Structure 1
Amino acid sequence: MLGSASLSGAVPAAAQSAGGGTAAALPEVTVTQRREAIDEAPPAYAGGQVGSGARLGILGNAPVLDTPFSVTSYTAQAIENEQARSVADVIAMDPSVRMASARSNINEDITIRGFAVPSGDFALNGMFGLTPYWRAPLEAVERVEVLKGPSAALFGMAPGGSVGGVVNLVSKRAGAQPLTRFTAGVMSDSVAGGHLDVGRRFGPDGALGARVNLMRRQGDTNIDHQSTRESLASLGLDLRQSALRASLDLLWQEQRIDNVVRQFQLAPGLAAIPRAPDNSIAYPGYGWTDGHDGSALFKAEYDINDTLTAYAGLGQRKLNWGSMAGNPVILNTAGDYSYFGGWQRMGVDSKSAEAGVRASFRTGGMAHNAALAFTRLDQDQTLGFYTGFPGGMSNLYAGGRQPTPSIAGIDNPLRPYQDSKLTSVALADTVTLLEDRLLVTLGLRHQKVQGQSYNYMTGAASGPYYDKSATTPLAGVVFKLRPNWSLYASYVEGLSRGETAPVSAAIANPGEAMPPYRSKQKEIGAKFDHGGFLATVGLFELTRPSAAVSGNVFGVNGEQRNRGLEASVAGEVARGLRLLGGASFMDAELSRSANAALVGKRAIGVPRSQLNLGAEWDAGFAPGLTLTGRMVHTAKTYADAANTLRVAGWTRWDAGARYATRIGGKPVTFRLNVENLLDKNYYGIATAGYLFLGSPRTVSLSASVDL
């Protein structure tokens, strides 16, 4: 049966025999099988930092050792102990993932395996278009699942077309035990706030669950003259019955940052990257961002019989956002930069739907877990952009703060910017044979991509209506040498919307729309579970095409190829000692280009190596005390396609401690975390070539009590 059932009953101490006599007395036996909520995350692995499994799109949840991909699921426990405020804090634990923007920028984007994944491409309970658009908070999240590599066949095409991987956020659900947890915290400089997390189950056998999360924090950050104000409210309802499971998630978020951090652009002809300046200044030192997100998601699944389950989901998200920000451009090695201001406004309305069936059956000696799915995502974006503010000049090492330009009296209306419709149908099957030692997964997804771009200055259509389709395959094999040791191999493809040729008399095919770009990944690896310690090692090759003008024809004539080795570890290596981290080694180059001089050059923003290693030690000399530490290393990379602008590598050290005790009979946990302990100044880099400064030393202190 695909959905888990619940049985509860007792065998009487005495029972009548068939012949009417009394049988021997039997002990009372109670049989109970717990019902799972829809989209409930798999149990945590030993040590509690990662999950024992993760969601694989239409294939549903699967144990880590049974997946032919590299996947890590970070738990609510890891989120709480890290005092994580957004996905950016969690992905700092992953060696294959890096930030692609500053922490207090307008947006928080990341890279996975050397390819950009914007925050707007994160999924919520397996569905795209529903997470907060610029920054994803974590107070309402049970798991942050990171699936590396393109996954169009599993999840469908992401709205932004990212192919490096998928970040899936799993909502919190009420557990079997009542929960009322309050956390109060303060972060340097003086950001203070509180978070209330309440969970209850109601009705017979706790069939109905409710989980409420409320958060508010505000104050001055450790960036000079920067302040933040954040609020969140969420409600997660779930119904667990023998044949029917359903959930409803409501999420509201707002965030305001004054003196917002921005990335650095690089001027043409720049000879070298100047040394990283003071990380506590928001260059050019003015601006704000103010966003409001609201999301709703309803999902249900019904067991038609013991082998067939039907499911459906429907969600919507609305964004209302504005920002006034400066955009610095580094001019020379002395650190001089120019800047110009821009007032942006954006509205996003996303509607996401899914429906399908999952079947579990046998044919001969093979067990099948098959799925047929339909998805639809409609996303409409409006934009207003005003840039008529005077520019200016300054220097990275001179400091200084510029006044924020006023927007009073300026007309900046919202006009259509981009409409897109992503529709797909997918079929997949995982076949298990050889006494459950061999798992073979095959799948196909037919994706239709439609959309219209607009000139946001006039609202008029820009270029022809885009209407293309493509079919992407999936193939994966897992072979278990032993129950705790598996080998895997997979081939997957990803999709991105193709570009449209510029309209110009110099181009032979103006306005021609390229078909969706196909990214391809091949991967082989091994996974080992030592009972309390999980290790994964994998080799992969990921390619993504691109388009440019060659001669006078615009076409798909470029390709970036990332080849790499990844190794990760998680779990308890010795009693009271837990590790989490790993290493990623990558050779990323332009394998094809319209400019022959660029072929073989290293890809922008992709270092050869990234290392993360975090450790937790339960101090035996003080019961309840845990000491933590982490090293994060990123090797040098390049900020331009010609590989003339080198960005220095960096190493960051973090440290912390927590203490669990009881006060007044209530469980209380105190947490202290210090990010960038040595306050190192360093540049991060986006794959588009933008630079940003790493966060300054940040001290976070909190106390949680279960009431």
Structure 2
Amino acid sequence: MPLFSAQAHPSTVSASFPGTLRRLVLACALGTGALLSASAALADSQPLSLNLPSQSLEATVHQLAHESGVAIAADSRVLAGRSAAALQGRYTVLQALQQLLAGSDLVALEENGVIILRSTAEEGALNLGATTINATGQGNDLPEAYSGGQVARGARIGMLGNRDIMDTPFNVAAYTAQNMENQQSGTVGAVLRNDPSIRFSTGEGHAYENFMIRGYALDSTELAINGLYGLAPDGHVPTEFLERVEVLKGPGALLSGMAPNGGVGGVINLVPKRAGATPLTRLTTSYVSDGYFAEHIDLSRRLGDEQRFGIRFNGVYGSGDTGVDDQSKDRTLASLGMDYQGDGWKLELDAYETHEKLDNGSPMMAGFSDLKHVLKAPKPDTNILEGISAKQISKAVLVRGEYDLNDNWTAYASVGGARTRYTGFLNGTRVKVTNDSGDASGETYNQAGYTHSLSTEAGVRGNFMTGPVSHQLVLSTTLLHQDIGRAPTVTGAKYITNIYHPIQPTIASAHGSSDKTGDNTLSSFAVADTLGFIDERVLLTLGVRSQRVRQKLSNPSYDERALTPALGLVLKPWDAPVSLYANYIEGLTQGGMVSDVSADNYGEQFAPYKAKQMEAGVKWDLGDFTHTLAVFQIEKPSMMFDSASNRYTDDGEQRNRGVEWNMFGSITPSVRLLGGVTYTRAELTKTAGGTYDGNTARGVPAWSANLGAEWDTPWVEGLTLTALGIHSSSQYLDAANQLKIPQWTRYDLGARYSTKVLSKDVMLRASLENVENRSYWAGVFNDGYATVSEPRTVKLSASIDF
């Protein structure tokens, strides 16, 4: 008998009873309670397009029974005095009830085609154990969506697997497909605008999306798919094939291994879509100013008598002009997700291919190191490099399997391969300003290259007891091998332009073929154990990873090892849903090599750098709304030059200290919030000769804030209004702290409308980003370069389910 949880957290319920008593309760419910409908069996229930207003629970159940034709039985005394939140979207009857009953003591059970609503507080209940409900109906065992549907109530914590946020000693966020669709987030970068701890070092319209998490760089090559590095698309990562974008803040060497380029600010993991229990055929047409159109088809089916085999296809084609003057973009995406659920085992396959081409230009990156002060920003649609183009192609295949050795132990393995290649003017899209009139010098760089990746993970995960102490033990091994090829960069002649009135740049000539320049292998073995004490009120995670880093084609070759431990603690001292947590965890970055031929230690290769984080915080789950407050410190070594000895050392250091407040969920049934505030003090603590000791690291605003809101309007059924505000305080462009870009704030507005057209479910969405069309310097790239804001952008889309 299906059981749907009525608790917001955890997904457990005590609700079943012996057959005779069960039939007696059903008879009583039918006889003395309210038999709300009896015209169809639950087995015949199909997903419904629901738009239920906020009202009494009894009225909502009556309406749901009427619209579905499914019998719902409940004692009126159980429903009395209870209210239900508004509910919009496509749900089966049981899925709808699971959403409506979340946070209460009620559960929904099926009996002979009738659904019974019952209070778990009644006597005679038997404990059925943990039952996980995924509101999106996915074939993979993802944590369910939290109230409001914008984020999930858990995420993959690397090798530890999926964990509830309240049981996790880290600050994590998992943005849902619903959030991406409603915000019309075309790329992962657009999704991460919701997070105040994340800012960007490349601008809108650039060929790459690079991030800053907790003040440390994380580039687009360091995103993981299903926990494996090296398999994500190059440049922009499209969202149409993603179910979740998960963010774990802080270093994650134990949890996920070393990132390819050693980013330590956080881990971004992408979870592809799976086929849900409900068949889906959805066509979405979208428009983005100034003339970009796209078509997206999303097909999902589960096949077989028991629907064990699932298949999900997403295809996208888009073409047209972007918000940058005279720039255009073409892109395609084809992705396939398949899974098979066996008895005690499952197998999953994901494959994608994506092409993206940018023609005739790039947005602004301007340097001010020669001028010694920063000028006002140009118009955000300014095209600084008319005539250039760039193309990126990425494809990958990933297979993952799990096998239950017994009731307590599971073995798992993943293997994936990816090939990416690029050509054109992807980097060097910048100029250096020379005077107060905005005159600037620049040069273009024509490049080409490829990366071939093989990524694997295998391990075993198990649960057992030692006396009163529970254990969740994981052993994992990973390997990432990458062959990297680069063509010699062709540099065009220097030219003079103006950041306010650009002229045609001098275009570099054609590049040559790409030769193999890198043969890199990252391999590791890790073990971690989460110990539970006092009925799981105390959770202690201990672990260590042994990492090996090898580079065969570097000069000299590189082969280094490092141990990265971690410790995490979660305390639940009260009956209230509050978790106190703390962690110590390390990150790993490949050691630098001295490339200065004039240095006495030219060619010296340093051991891997270890970044060290300490963090503590509190999480408070109010049922429909959650707060997380965290304080952290991350110390990361770096190379620096000692002029007295004419040698480079690895004694440099940057230390970031900060406070984060994140919030998400529903504050009323019709109002949802998502956002937070971050304060970061990014300090250079050890610099060459102490010259810049105590200065603020470049590209890290002291204050960052994001707040998004959604409101289901009471006067128009199906209409939701949205707003998003993003703020960053001033940022330094250089280590000397002589150049600073001012603070900025931008606002986005939007609306969506759910309706039916010719009996088909239709969703209309509209948004206006950077409403005021403000011109500002948005972020920092490399040393001394500022990126320009994106222009005012209109986004429109229409989705129809066939």
Q: Same fold (TM over 0.5)?
A: yes
CA shift, 1:381, in A, is: 1.1
CA-to-aligned-CA distance 1:621-665 (integer Å, 9 cap, x gap): 111100011110000010011101011110001000001111122
Q: 1:296 aligns with which of 382, 397, 414?
A: 397
Partner of 1:422: 522
Partner of 2:312: 211
3-state SS, counterpart of residue 247 of structure 2:
strand
CA-to-aligned-CA distance 1:536-569 (integer Å, 9 cap, x gap): 0000001110012212222111100000000011
CA contact (8 A) 2:652 2:686 kept: yes
Using the alignment, how far apart are the partners of 1:208 and 1:358 within structure 2? 25
1:255-654 correspondence runs (5 A): 255-262=356-363, 264-266=365-367, 268-324=369-425, 326-397=429-500, 399-402=501-504, 405=507, 407=509, 410=510, 412-453=512-553, 462-481=554-573, 482-502=575-595, 504=597, 506-550=598-642, 551-654=645-748
Using the alignment, how far apart are the partners of 2:270 and 2:449 within structure 1? 24
Using the alignment, how far apart are the partners of 2:782 and 2:596 within structure 1? 23
CA contact (8 A) 1:13 1:28 kept: no
CA shift, 1:483, in A, is: 4.9
Residue 699 (str. 1) matches residue 794 (str. 2): yes
3-state SS, counterpart of residue 84 of structure 1:
coil
3-state SS, counterpart of residue 79 of structure 1:
helix
TM-score (normalised: structure 2): 0.82
Q: 1:663 aligns with which of 754, 757, 773?
A: 757
3-state SS, counterpart of residue 605 of structure 1:
coil
What amino acid is aligned across from residue 415 of structure 1 in structure 2? D
In structure 2, the gaps of 5 or more residues are: 1-10, 12-16, 22-110, 115-127
CA shift, 1:28, in A, is: 6.9
CA shift, 1:373, in A, is: 0.3
Quick check: 37-46 or 213-222, which moved more?
37-46
CA-to-aligned-CA distance 1:467-509 (integer Å, 9 cap, x gap): 00000011000001335111000010000000112363x4333
3-state SS, counterpart of residue 78 of structure 1:
helix
Compare relative contact order (CA 8 Å, sep 6+) and give the higher one, 1 or 2. 1
1:185-196 correspondence runs (5 A): 185-196=286-297
Using the alignment, how far apart are the partners of 1:695 and 1:29 within structure 2? 54
CA shift, 1:11, in A, is: 10
What amino acid is aligned across from residue 643 of structure 1 in structure 2? N
CA shift, 1:331, in A, is: 2.1
3-state SS, counterpart of residue 705 of structure 2:
strand
Residue 250 (str. 1) matches residue 345 (str. 2): no
What amino acid is aligned across from residue 590 of structure 2 in structure 1? R
Using the alignment, how far apart are the partners of 1:353 and 1:44 within structure 2? 29
Over the aligned positions, Cα root-mean-square deviation in angstroms equals: 2.1
1:102-121 correspondence runs (5 A): 102-121=203-222
Using the alignment, how far apart are the partners of 1:68 and 1:78 within structure 2? 25
What amino acid is aligned across from residue 402 of structure 1 in structure 2? Q
TM-score (normalised: structure 1): 0.92
Using the alignment, how far apart are the partners of 1:116 and 1:278 within structure 2? 26
**Structure 1 pair 444/388, CA: closer, same or farther in 2 (3 Å)?**
closer
CA-to-aligned-CA distance 1:216-262 (integer Å, 9 cap, x gap): 11101121111000100000001112311110001100001113425
CA-to-aligned-CA distance 1:166-199 (integer Å, 9 cap, x gap): 1100010011111111111111011011111111
What amino acid is aligned across from residue 628 of structure 2 in structure 1? T
CA shift, 1:263, in A, is: 5.0
Using the alignment, how far apart are the partners of 2:18 and 2:469 within structure 1? 36
CA shift, 1:275, in A, is: 0.6
CA-to-aligned-CA distance 1:412-455 (integer Å, 9 cap, x gap): 121223221000000001111111111110100000000145xx
CA contact (8 A) 1:40 1:173 kept: no
Partner of 2:238: 137
CA shift, 1:688, in A, is: 2.3
CA shift, 1:285, in A, is: 2.8
What amino acid is aligned across from residue 264 of structure 2 in structure 1? V
3-state SS, counterpart of residue 602 of structure 2:
coil
Q: 1:674 aligns with which of 768, 776, 779?
A: 768
3-state SS, counterpart of residue 277 of structure 2:
coil
Partner of 2:169: 68
Using the alignment, how far apart are the partners of 2:233 and 2:746 within structure 1? 28
Partner of 2:249: 148
CA contact (8 A) 2:493 2:508 kept: no
What amino acid is aligned across from residue 141 of structure 1 in structure 2? L
In structure 1, the gaps of 5 or more residues are: 5-9, 15-26, 454-461
Partner of 2:779: 685
Quick check: 490-499 or 410-419, which moved more?
410-419
**Structure 1 pair 411/604, CA: closer, same or farther in 2 (3 Å)?**
closer
CA contact (8 A) 2:364 2:383 kept: no
3-state SS, counterpart of residue 147 of structure 1:
strand
CA-to-aligned-CA distance 1:324-368 (integer Å, 9 cap, x gap): 365312223331111111110011101001111001111111111
CA shift, 1:34, in A, is: 7.7
CA contact (8 A) 2:234 2:392 kept: no
3-state SS, counterpart of residue 178 of structure 2:
helix
CA-to-aligned-CA distance 1:556-583 (integer Å, 9 cap, x gap): 1110000000001100011201000000
CA shift, 1:401, in A, is: 4.1
Partner of 1:456: none
Partner of 1:22: none
What amino acid is aligned across from residue 532 of structure 2 in structure 1? T
Using the alignment, how far apart are the partners of 1:696 and 1:29 within structure 2? 55
CA shift, 1:29, in A, is: 11
Quick check: 388-397 or 100-109, which moved more?
388-397
What amino acid is aligned across from residue 58 of structure 1 in structure 2? M
**Structure 1 pair 617/122, CA: closer, same or farther in 2 (3 Å)?**
same
Using the alignment, how far apart are the partners of 1:637 and 1:327 within structure 2? 19
CA contact (8 A) 1:476 1:489 kept: yes
CA shift, 1:674, in A, is: 0.9
Using the alignment, how far apart are the partners of 2:787 and 2:247 within structure 1? 24
CA-to-aligned-CA distance 1:141-180 (integer Å, 9 cap, x gap): 0000011000000000000110000110001001111111
CA shift, 1:686, in A, is: 3.0
Using the alignment, how far apart are the partners of 2:171 and 2:247 within structure 1? 8
Tell me the matched-pair count. 675
Quick check: 383-392 or 413-422, which moved more?
383-392
Using the alignment, how far apart are the partners of 1:501 and 1:411 within structure 2? 27
CA-to-aligned-CA distance 1:569-606 (integer Å, 9 cap, x gap): 10001120100000000111101112312000000111
Identical counterparts, % of pairs: 39
What amino acid is aligned across from residue 186 of structure 1 in structure 2? Y
